[in-house]
Amino acid sequence: GQQVMQIPQYQHVQEGEDFTTYCNSSTTLSNIQWYKQRPGGHPVFLIQLVKSGEVKKQKRLTFQFGEAKKNSSLHITATQTTDVGTYFCAGNYGGSQGNLIFGKGTKLSVKP
């Protein structure tokens, strides 16, 4: 079946360092979504990327969608302790399939 691979599984950074998580699909995606789950909380939608090569920014967060629409990345510049949590990508393959395929997530910890 379709799978979205996400790496790394864990990332520990010092506050102020950058952080990147990557997602990869073996087949072309219709679009990709990114979610953040704080410890003890529920996933919260961050952004959706639809177009090939698309780049979107939200303050210190930069999201990219690959030219082939098979991979995506989330980059955080100068991490803060408020960035702690697990970041999930979720791939949408379109068609009649009604569900997203979630990656396993990258758990980010930030040392002050």
Partner 1 sequence: DGGITQSPKYLFRKEGQNVTLSCEQNLNHDAMYWYRQDPGQGLRLIYYSQIVNDFQKGDIAEGYSVSREKKESFPLTVTSAQKNPTAFYLCASSGRSHQPQHFGDGTRLSIL
Query: Applying CB under 8 A, which residues contact partner 1?
Result: 1, 6, 30-31, 33, 35, 41-45, 48, 88, 90, 92, 94, 97-100, 102-105, 107
Minimum Å gap between C-beta 8 and partner 1 is: 13
Q: In angstroms, how far is the first alpha carbon of the chain from the final one?
A: 41
Minimum Å gap between C-beta 87 and partner 1 is: 11
Q: Which residue has the tokens 């379109």?
A: 94
Output 2 or 80, the one with its CB closest to partner 1: 2
Output 98 or 112, the one with its CB closest to partner 1: 98
CA dist., res. 24 & res. 10, Å (int):
16
Give the residue from 39, 26, 13 showing the smallest Cα distance to 105. Answer: 39
